[in-house]
Amino acid sequence: MEYYEKQIIRGVKEGNENAFRSLYDNYYHRLFCISRQYLQDDFLAETIVSDVFFHLWENRRTLDIQISLNAYLIRMVRNFSLNYLQKNYVEKEVSLNGIDITSPLLFLSDEYPLGRLLEKEMIEKVHEEINRLPKETRQVFVFSRLEELKHEEIAKRLGISVNTVKYHIKQALSILRERLKEYQLVLLACLMKLF
Return the SS3 of 63. Answer: coil
Phi and psi at 83, nearest 5°, equal -60, -40
Q: What is the pLDDT of residue 179?
A: 79
SS (H, E, C) 14-38: CCCHHHHHHHHHHHHHHHHHHHHHH
Q: Is 79 exposed, middle or buried (0-12, 13-18, 19+ CB in 10 A)?
A: middle
CB atoms closer than 10 angstroms to residue 46: 15
Q: Which fold has domain 96-194?
A: Arc Repressor Mutant, subunit A (1.10.10)
- Return the sign of the alpha-carbon dihedral for residues 182, 186, 187, 188: positive
Rounded to whole angstroms, the Cα distance separating 187 from 191 reads 6
Rounded to whole angstroms, the Cα distance separating 102 from 151 reads 25
Ramachandran class of 44: left when φ > 0, alpha when ψ lies in -120 to 50, beta otherwise: alpha
Rounded to whole angstroms, the Cα distance separating 101 from 95 reads 12
pLDDT by residue for the chain (195 residues), tens only, comes to: 577 778 888 888 888 888 888 888 889 999 999 888 888 888 888 989 988 988 888 888 887 887 788 888 888 899 888 888 877 654 433 444 444 433 434 444 444 455 556 666 767 777 888 888 889 988 998 888 777 888 899 999 899 988 888 888 888 888 887 877 766 555 445 444 444
Q: What is the pLDDT of residue 77?
A: 92
Q: Kindly write down the DSSP assignment for every residue of 108-156, as one continuous string.
A: GSTT-HHHHHHHHHHHHHHHHHHHTS-HHHHHHHHHHHTS---HHHHHH
Rounded to whole angstroms, the Cα distance separating 90 from 184 reads 8
Size (the chain), residues: 195
What does pTM read for this prediction? Answer: 0.46
The domain segmentation of the chain, as residue ranges, is 3-89, 96-194
Contacts of 12 (CB under 8 A, 6+ apart): 19, 20, 23, 56, 57, 60, 63
Q: Domain 3-89: which CATH class?
A: mainly alpha
